[in-house]
Amino acid sequence: MIALDTNVLVAAHRLDSQFNGVAVAVVAELWSGPAAWAIPWPCLHEFLAIVTNSRIPWEPTPLDRAVEQVDEWLTSPNLVLLAEGPGYFDHFRSVITAAQASGGLVHDARIAALCLYHSVSELWTADRDFSRFPALKTRNPLVRT
């Protein structure tokens, strides 16, 4: 199962993103495909926080439109939302300890731990900080190789 990080979701939503076309194609492929795909709940929360933030260097997305965007993604029949459950903290502890995560990296460690907890095969992200979590395979889908 492939999971998407916040930055891919933001790029897919924001028409002014230089990666919008690629990100829209990535999300559409997963959304309409036969395989299960995932979004960690913290990524949806972070998506809403980023695109509606009035301090970002572009016009923020109105809250109702940002929520509509999340609603659209949630209609995918194969979407799995990744949340904490029994035994999750063991994964989280392992991830933060191995990476010596502190400060802002704890948020990324939470996403990595959720992916590992749910047996995600790959996290698609443009954030190189996830290389600090070698147990989680990552790929940047916004850069075509």
| Per-residue pLDDT tens over the stretch 20-53 | 999 999 999 999 999 999 999 999 999 999 999 9
The domain ranges of the chain are 2-139
Give, in degrees to the nearest 5, the angle at Cα 93 between 90 and 97.
145
Please report which helix (H) or strand (E) contains residue 48, including its range.
Answer: helix 41-51
Residue 145 has pLDDT above 70, yes or no: no
How far is it, in rounded angstroms, from Cα 17 to Cα 27? 15
Question: What is the Cα Rg of the chain in Å?
Answer: 15
Residue for token digits 């954030």?
127
Residue 97 has pLDDT above 80, yes or no: yes
Q: How many CB atoms lie within 10 A of CB 142?
A: 20
Mean pLDDT, all residues of the chain: 94
Token pair, residue 27, equals 């999300």
Residue for token digits 């980023």?
50
Residue 86 has pLDDT above 90, yes or no: yes
- Kindly indicate whether the domain formed by 2-139 is annotated with CATH number 2.40.50.180: no
Q: What is the largest CA-CA distance in the chain?
A: 41
Residue 54 has pLDDT above 80, yes or no: yes
Percentage of the chain lying above the pLDDT 90 cut: 92
